[in-house]
Structure 1
Amino acid sequence: MNTGKSVRKKFLSKGPKIVAIGGGTGLSILLRGMKEYTSNITAIVTVADDGGGSGILREDLDMLPPGDIRSCILALANTEPTMARLLQYRFKEGSLKGQNFGNLFIAAMNEIYGSFEVAVRETCNVLAVTGKVLPVTLEKVKLHAVLKNGEKVHGESNIPLINKAMSSQIDHVYIEPEISFPMKEAIDAIEEADAIVLGPGSLYTSVIPNLLIKDMADTISAADGIKIYISNVMTQPGETDGYSLWDHVNAIIYHSREDLIDYVIANVEEIPEETLKKYSEDGATPVIFSKEDEEKLNSIGIGIIKENLIDIKKNYIRHDSIKLCEIITRMAKEKRAKKAFD
């Protein structure tokens, strides 16, 4: 048994260096699959969240929001099932109602060490995390949106709600403070990566906020690793209503630079009607791409990888993380081999 674990650990340690950038459920699903292929993973996570339990802790304790960080830590953790359940537990009654125990754990570590950076690192150590989980910045950034109707929305959690209520679209998002600096460890990981992955996840509230941090877009663009954007399977009400694949990519380019992405991974698998019906009631539709989208992407040097990537569980649509990670790992290994040959 121990020999098998040792062999597997050695195998994973030789895997490609993967940097995954984003936040929310999409990033944690990707990470859960990726740790089966390599232990050289760095998750760079947005800290713009200001809603729910994370928002309360952010306000009450003047700390960075722990929610997305917690989800990524648990995705990469190698811990007992009971511990995993404990850290996912959400209180149902009393003054702690709605709070997640894992968030409180990170908050306690933050108080003990007096540093969010150290708190995250020590939490990763306690839970035997594969790779690293890093906040993109240690500064308390706030996300704002300007809608196409001219209205401004303040706060990450308000953006999809107010935008949906106004039936507008997002023109652009920005952060305050306008100049916020990334963690050096995050920049180093990007520079050393075989592959840098954006998404999947909420376009304007999970993916793009990371690119607004000073030097992040330029560092990604200049890095030797292959740059991959994983397109969402479904549009997100209040954020990407009616968006095509090109619309997603164009929004990223608008907030960063045209040479940021080498490849887009897109789903081409049809989704069962009964599942689509549930999503359509909320206003979500499949993200599709036309020949015109493909031509636009190719014209700026972005390749498209088309694959069946749907995983439906309990009528919820998710990416098939195993298929997704197989594609990313293969591309990263090819890039590493090419670098070694050059």
Structure 2
Amino acid sequence: MKKIKVTLVGGGTGLSVLARGLRRYPVDISAIVSVADDGGSTGLVRDQIDMPAPGDIRNVMSSLSDVESKLENLFVYRFKKDRFGGHALGNLMLAAMYDMTGDFAMAVKELSKILNVKGTVIPSTNFSPKLAARMDDNSIIVGESYIPEVKQKIEEVYLLPNDTVATAEAVQAIEDSDVIVFGPGSLYTSVIPNLLPGGIKDAILGSQGIKVYVSNIMTQVGETLGYTAADHLEAIDFHLGQKTGRSIMDFIILNEQDIQGQISEYYSRNHMSIVSSDKQRIREMGVEIATDHRLVSIDDQGAVRHNNKVLAEKIYDIALREISTLQYKK
């Protein structure tokens, strides 16, 4: 039986969490990862070597790796700040491989072989772009790590230089996909940056694959305070040039459980709220809602995360149902 081709689009910790859950299923995984990050160890590496951001790539590679746990732990090990600048070893390994090959996508591919990565990890672009945002007062903020710090409403984000093109591998993965999953992750600084390199938008709009958006559970300071689930969809559609009122997405996976009494006070102190499921708007956009009472994981400190096993299960269920329906119709 031919494996279902699933392409994940995103960045940050959300994508690595999803990848870790989905690798248990008999699917062919490709992960298109944002490379516009400029904070922490990643930012220091980018300052010293003109290369795309390695941090999110490193996390996804680790999630999909089949090597022994000690080697995986070594790959994500972060040095003490006063010794090696707080660098993660995986970032340094990617930088070294990039220095050897002169091609970031090739560096990721070669290191993936060493780590026995189950699937294909693909940088969204082979260049080293900066993420910029136009705020609601028309001010422009440059730098992925600076955008949320301004704490203003974001109107749109774009890459500098604006002629940044996608890797051929990223475009091909989208075109070949049976299912394309967007998120979870920071809307404007992890998910949408992957849509911006030239070639990606056309590939998504032309794709016959099922498109699934994984909604964040909580709104995020500096990005989505006050956003509903439909607002997240509209932001993605806007950046894809979809302006008909009907979303490019076929499904949205979201939380509909009331978890307010179980979560940390940190969220309310920072004006973060549960992303509301405005069902009527979502359905008017032509998007089907998928949910599960087990979708949310809350730890002892009240921190909210997706349950990666349940999230992967929902995506696999959607894929099996929709693809079998399409095959039957054919």
Q: Indicate the TM-score class for this superposition, using the shorter chain for normalisation.
A: over 0.9
In 1: Cα distance, 2:80 partner to 2:15 partner? 26
Q: Does 1:228 align with 2:212?
A: yes
Determine the structure 1 residue equivalent to 2:311.
Answer: 324
Q: Please point out which of 77, 88, 96 is paired with 1:108.
A: 96
Equivalent residues in 2 for 1:2-151, closer than 5 Å: 14-151=2-139
Determine the structure 2 residue equivalent to 1:153.
Answer: 141
Determine the structure 1 residue equivalent to 2:298.
Answer: 312
In 1: Cα distance, 2:162 partner to 2:100 partner? 30
In 1: Cα distance, 2:321 partner to 2:175 partner? 17
Determine the structure 1 residue equivalent to 2:323.
Answer: 336
Deviation at 1:334, TM superposition (A): 2.4
Deviation at 1:272, TM superposition (A): 5.1
Q: Given the two structures, how large is their TM-score scaled by the length of structure 1?
A: 0.90
Contact 1:14 1:38 in 2 (8 A): no
In 1: Cα distance, 2:62 partner to 2:271 partner? 30
Contact 1:43 1:132 in 2 (8 A): yes
Contact 2:255 2:277 in 1 (8 A): no
Determine the structure 2 residue equivalent to 1:5.
Answer: none
Determine the structure 2 residue equivalent to 1:287.
Answer: 275
Unmatched runs of 5 consecutive residues or more in structure 2 = none
Q: Residue deviations 1:85-107, cap 9 Å, x none?
A: 11121111435132111111111
Equivalent residues in 2 for 1:143-182, closer than 5 Å: 143-162=131-150, 164=151, 168-182=152-166
Amino acid at match of 2:179: A
Q: Residue deviations 1:176-203, cap 9 Å, x none?
A: 1212221122222112211100000000
Q: Residue deviations 1:288-317, cap 9 Å, x none?
A: 123xxx222222311212322101234321
Deviation at 1:283, TM superposition (A): 3.0
Deviation at 1:142, TM superposition (A): 1.1
In 2: Cα distance, 1:37 partner to 1:205 partner? 28
Aligned-residue Cα RMSD (Å) equals 1.6
Q: Percent identity?
A: 40
In 2: Cα distance, 1:243 partner to 1:157 partner? 20
In 2: Cα distance, 1:114 partner to 1:285 partner? 44
Q: Residue deviations 1:213-256, cap 9 Å, x none?
A: 22212211221210000000011111111111111111111111
3-state DSSP class of the match of 2:254?
strand
Amino acid at match of 1:239: E
Identify if the C-alpha distance between structure 1 residues 263 and 62 changes in structure 2 by more than 3 Å, giving closer, same or farther: same
3-state DSSP class of the match of 1:48?
coil
Contact 2:51 2:127 in 1 (8 A): no
Equivalent residues in 2 for 1:181-220, closer than 5 Å: 181-220=165-204
Contact 1:77 1:130 in 2 (8 A): yes
Determine the structure 2 residue equivalent to 1:260.
Answer: 248
